[in-house]
């Protein structure tokens, strides 16, 4: 790599974040391909299935395993895994109404309509009594950043952190895709029998998209905070679902778009 700084030119190595495809199969049938950072792949697959409404309890997944012979020469790239569901768990509809191809930037794309994305949540968050002070919330991005080990080496990863209402960090996951990082956290919770994630706060290192709000709602998380901006659809879904959505959480500043009552603030407009 050629590095230019203040007119000086240097040749030096650089550490890059790994991005590889992961194919997720259900009972041997291809379901989705996502571009991800290898690591915590089982959590990623489990979290994706929670987000899509396929599973909601630990026992609904019998096994997750890497597929041997994933390449022409029979070697294992660890880029294909198969999930076995428990008997009676309905398979998702993979008709032309859904396109399960995902990328590291946008998450699931090609939904047939907005209504198709509004998956019915197993654990409604509207009535979750979670409450926390704004001061505690402003401390969480720094606590998340302190645990981003791969970001320190590459500068190219998103992170998601799950916190308790006391500010304690329960789980952190990194990935080149912001939606993958959230799925890895949700999958960790599913596989350790912690769903629903009531009374918790999800902090993400990037922006808050519609899909991240959906993933939080599907996991029963009442508070989602992002260091960057939310989208208009994210705010709409958060308002419909009763989720507290915070954006631009930087330093002592934040914008509370929905669910301000959980921070002890009144809802209203200037």
Contact of 140 with 147, CB cutoff 8 Å? no
**Is residue 106 situated within a structural domain?**
no
Candidates 67, 106, 109, 171; catalytic one: 106
Which pLDDT value is given to residue 151?
Answer: 47
**Is residue 8 situated within a structural domain?**
no
Q: Using alpha carbons only, how large is the chain's radius of gyration in Å?
A: 19
Instruction: Compute CA distances 30 → 24, 77, 175, 211, whole Å.
Output: 6, 16, 22, 22
The CATH number for 169's domain is 3.40.140.10
Distance CA 209, CA 171 (A): 21
pLDDT digits (tens, 9 = 90+) for 202-219: 999 989 999 999 999 999
How is residue 266 written in tokens? 């009144």
Q: Find the angle CA(27)-CA(33)-CA(37) to the nearest 5 degrees.
A: 115
Which pLDDT value is given to residue 181?
Answer: 95
**Is residue 165 situated within a structural domain?**
yes
pLDDT digits (tens, 9 = 90+) for 120-135: 788 999 999 999 999 9
**Is residue 6 situated within a structural domain?**
no
109 classed as catalytic: no
How is residue 107 written in tokens? 């998450």
What residue numbers bound the domain in which 171 lies? 125-263
Positions of the chain with pLDDT under 70: 1, 12-16, 69-75, 93-119, 149-156, 267-270
Total number of domains in the chain: 1
141-168: buried (b, 16+ CB within 10 Å) or exposed (e) per residue? Answer: beebbeebebbeebeebbbbbbbebeee
**Is residue 199 situated within a structural domain?**
yes
Which pLDDT value is given to residue 10?
Answer: 83
């Amino acid at each position: 790599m050629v590095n230019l700084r203040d007119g000086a030119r240097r040749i030096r190595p650089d550490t890059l974040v790994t991005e590889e495809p992961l194919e997720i199969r259900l009972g041997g049938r291809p379901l989705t391909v996502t571009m991800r950072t290898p690591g915590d792949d089982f959590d990623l697959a489990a979290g994706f299935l929670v987000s899509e409404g396929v599973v909601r309890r630990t026992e609904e997944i019998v096994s997750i395993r890497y597929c041997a012979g994933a390449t022409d020469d029979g070697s294992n790239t660890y880029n294909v895994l198969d999930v076995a569901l428990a008997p009676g768990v309905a398979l998702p509809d993979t008709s032309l109404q859904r396109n399960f191809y995902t990328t590291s930037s946008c998450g699931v794309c090609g939904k047939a309509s907005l209504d198709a994305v509004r998956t019915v949540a197993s654990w409604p968050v509207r009535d979750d009594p979670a409450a926390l002070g704004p001061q505690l919330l402003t401390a969480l991005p720094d606590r998340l950043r302190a645990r981003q080990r791969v970001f320190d080496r590459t500068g190219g990863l998103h992170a998601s952190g799950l916190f308790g209402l006391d500010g304690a960090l329960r789980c952190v996951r990194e990935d080149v895709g912001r939606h993958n990082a959230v799925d890895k956290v949700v999958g960790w919770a599913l596989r350790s029998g912690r769903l629903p994630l009531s009374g918790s706060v999800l902090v993400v290192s990037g922006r808050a998209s519609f899909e991240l709000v959906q993933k939080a709602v599907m996991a029963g998380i009442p508070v989602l905070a992002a260091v960057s901006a939310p989208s208009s659809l994210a705010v709409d879904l958060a308002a419909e679902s009763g989720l507290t959505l915070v954006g631009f959480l930087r330093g002592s500043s934040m914008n509370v778009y929905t669910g301000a009552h959980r921070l002890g603030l009144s809802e209203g407009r200037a």
